[in-house]
Structure 1
Amino acid sequence: MSDSLPNKVFAAITAIGGYIPQNKRTNFDLEQVCDTSDEWIVKRTGIKERRILEEELATSDMAVRAIQDLATQFGKNIHDVDALLVATSTPDMPMPATANIIAEKLGLNNVWAFDMNAACSGFLYALDMGASLVETRRYKNVLIVGADNISTYVDMQDRSTNILFGDGAGVVWLEPSEEGGVIDAYLQSNGSGRAFLNIEAGGSLYPVDENTPLTDKRYLKQDGKTVFKHAVQSMSDACMNVLQRNNLTIDDVNWLVPHQANQRIIDAVGRSINIAEGKTLSNIEYLGNTIAATIPLCIWENLKQIKTGDLVMLTAFGAGFSWGASLFRWMI
């Protein structure tokens, strides 16, 4: 028997898929329902339109279509999946987990599936957990989904939120690789920000019933100035932390893929960490903030730019507050 240790296993992204609804909510549409303008929205957010899911559909439907897109584009057999992690703040229902519903819709009968909610940081959290499952060799084919039907929780009269959010789903497939993959992640959270970005109703504290005011606790609320300040600082610090502990500099990074919350936040983070112009990927202009779906959708829409072997950094910030950064070698 050999005493040598097995080679290190990385969790590599080997396929990616996405889905965005066809219905659009443009800035012109918002001008008709509240006191705002296209110029005001674009100047403050960089967003021109966002996608809105049909009323009869739910988060699981978008996730299923994203997974089917992945399988078609990369020739994957969905029945090889042995773990399914779904990052979402907008589950189909409080229970069962949306991951269970997705599994049933895909015909996966014996898969380890569950949801996790870290708001806009959810995809990073799920990616790190999925990578750990692969690195321990306990699972070989892991799907990481980021999906949110956040438009359901947007008050159309609230221009602090209705201009920002749209719906969508993105997914990556993780497999073991000895060549490269996820390198590191730095993820943090605290409860200090819950008053500044939240949906209060729908849980055990404020159950939704006929007595819940429509314009009160059911809708997404945000203190934009506070979130902006914390987002820029936290995302920048997380990126630098990951680079420093891996003995890298920002010049080593080929692509930065930040959470698509607001173009001004994206630009401010880029300046703060001093990444070269043209290395930051963004798709917020036509999709808005899709919560846990922003990062995988941004990668999915920029596949032609990312080359095998590129070093990619992700960073996000969300309700809680929660935030972090991760680093991986692109192996597709």
Structure 2
Amino acid sequence: MFINATGFYVPEERVHNQHFLELNGLTSEWIEQRTGIKTRSKAKPEENICTMGIEAVRNALPKLPYDITEVDLIISASYSPYDTVATAAHYTQREFNITEAKALYLSSACSSFLNALEVVEGYFAMGKATKALILSADKNSAYYNETDPKAGHLWGDAAAAFFISKERVTENDPHIIEIFTQGLGHLSKGPEGVQLRPRDGGILMPEGRDVFIQACTYMPKNALYLLEKNGFKLDDLTYFIGHQANMRIMSNIAKQLGLPEEKFLHNIEELGNTGSVSSALVYAQNDHSFKKGDLVCLTVFGGGYSAGACLIQC
């Protein structure tokens, strides 16, 4: 599979750490020290994953080497739906008149984007699609509880759009070498680690320590697995993009792997934890700087639990 174009949308508003002092008693210094977050992005009340996804598509269109109506599969990947009936995929289909596309929604916490990539791979393998659009977005501010001292200060809002084709369209299309995902609901705290129950407290992380431990285990493990399976060494990796949950997780992984910090791409310090879009967003924000031959690994861990990794050669 090949990446034909990417786009992204990040709301303008930034919520600073000091906002939370009166809400949950956490100082700006404490939040930054424990998470690496200084500010987080926040969508407007009238924005949602559908509107943000559409803006991410608009951002990608100038780079798309074919007409958007050639897309025959649209997948919305998110855990914070605006509408559970008419999904972001359907809104986008209507907005851009993509009449011949299948449209669907999937969710697997913060690994939703990688699961969407794997679903696209399946449709391509079955011969049921040739060009796909993945809309990855989360509006955490629609669900979070800012007074929650465990997780109320973590979340940001954003969207990314990835156009994927079965065959190479241009010589510059990055090659998706392999995708690997896994469900880990049986593991440790599993489904209780992170929750989003809209009528019961919103998005919560009651088992943050366990999430930290599992993320530090499975994100590097899956990256190494894909590298070795595809004949690469760790030194061959140009950039490491992890799920933007906590900079301490990234620092832990850097020490485990012995990778220099310049190989880690991140945006959590400005945008917070943007959820299932976070790794895709980092890639889309940096794709203009990738050089031919660069090897990029996306690796994520999500509540539920779930995990996955993807290896891309630019």
What TM-score results when the alignment is normalised by the length of structure 1? 0.87
For the pair 1:164 / 2:144, whether they are aligned, the reply is: no
Structure 1 residue 275 displacement after superposition: 2.5
Equivalent position amino acid for 1:177 in 2: R
Indicate conservation of the 8 Å contact 2:145/2:201, yes or no: no
For the pair 1:268 / 2:252, whether they are aligned, the reply is: yes
Structure 1 residue 243 displacement after superposition: 1.6
Structure 2 residue matching 1:120: 3-state secondary structure: coil
Equivalent position amino acid for 1:155 in 2: N
Q: Give the stretch that moved more between structures: 163-172 or 68-77.
A: 68-77
Indicate conservation of the 8 Å contact 1:153/1:220, yes or no: no
Equivalent position amino acid for 1:279 in 2: K
Q: CA RMSD in A?
A: 1.9
Q: Give the stretch that moved more between structures: 134-143 or 191-200.
A: 134-143
Deviation per residue, 1:187-239 (Å, 9 max, x gap): 111223111111134xxxxxx4xxxxxxx443433321111001110112111
Equivalent position amino acid for 2:180 in 1: Y
Q: Distance in 2 between matches of 1:174 and 1:128?
A: 11
Q: Distance in 1 between matches of 2:150 and 2:76?
A: 27
Match of 2:178 in 1: 184
Q: Distance in 2 between matches of 1:75 and 1:139?
A: 17
Structure 1 residue 79 displacement after superposition: 1.6
Q: Distance in 1 between matches of 2:203 and 2:230?
A: 41
Q: Residues 304 and 97 of structure 1: is their aligned pair in 2 closer, same or farther, counting only changes over 3 Å? A: closer
The aligned runs of 1:7-26 (5 Å cut-off) are 11-26=1-16
Match of 2:46 in 1: 56
For the pair 1:298 / 2:292, whether they are aligned, the reply is: no
Q: Residues 309 and 117 of structure 1: is their aligned pair in 2 closer, same or farther, counting only changes over 3 Å? A: same
9, 26, 29: which one pairs with 1:36? 26
Match of 2:221 in 1: 237
Match of 2:308 in 1: 324
Indicate conservation of the 8 Å contact 1:18/1:70, yes or no: yes
Matched length: 307
For the pair 1:284 / 2:268, whether they are aligned, the reply is: yes
Structure 2 residue matching 1:307: 3-state secondary structure: coil
Indicate conservation of the 8 Å contact 1:190/1:322, yes or no: yes
Q: Distance in 1 between matches of 2:161 and 2:68?
A: 12
187, 195, 202: which one pairs with 2:192? 195
Structure 2 residue matching 1:257: 3-state secondary structure: strand
Structure 1 residue matching 2:312: 3-state secondary structure: strand
Indicate conservation of the 8 Å contact 2:194/2:203, yes or no: no
Match of 1:119 in 2: 109
Identity of aligned residues (%): 30
Structure 1 residue 156 displacement after superposition: 1.1
Q: Distance in 2 between matches of 1:90 and 1:108?
A: 24
Structure 1 residue matching 2:191: 3-state secondary structure: coil
Indicate conservation of the 8 Å contact 1:70/1:76, yes or no: no
Equivalent position amino acid for 1:200 in 2: R
Deviation per residue, 1:96-152 (Å, 9 max, x gap): 333112222332223111111011111111112223434555422211121001111
Match of 1:78 in 2: 68
Deviation per residue, 1:4-33 (Å, 9 max, x gap): xxxxxxx11121100011122111222242
Indicate conservation of the 8 Å contact 1:239/1:273, yes or no: no
> Structure 2: which 5+ residue stretches go unaligned?
none
Q: Distance in 1 between matches of 2:252 and 2:8?
A: 27
> Structure 1: which 5+ residue stretches go unaligned?
1-10, 202-207, 209-215
Indicate conservation of the 8 Å contact 2:70/2:98, yes or no: no
Indicate conservation of the 8 Å contact 2:90/2:104, yes or no: yes
Structure 1 residue 77 displacement after superposition: 2.6
Indicate conservation of the 8 Å contact 1:187/1:325, yes or no: yes
127, 130, 133: which one pairs with 1:140? 130
Equivalent position amino acid for 1:78 in 2: I
Deviation per residue, 1:241-286 (Å, 9 max, x gap): 1122222211111111111111111121222233233111111111
Q: Give the stretch that moved more between structures: 102-111 or 147-156.
A: 102-111
Larger Rg: 1
Indicate conservation of the 8 Å contact 2:69/2:100, yes or no: no
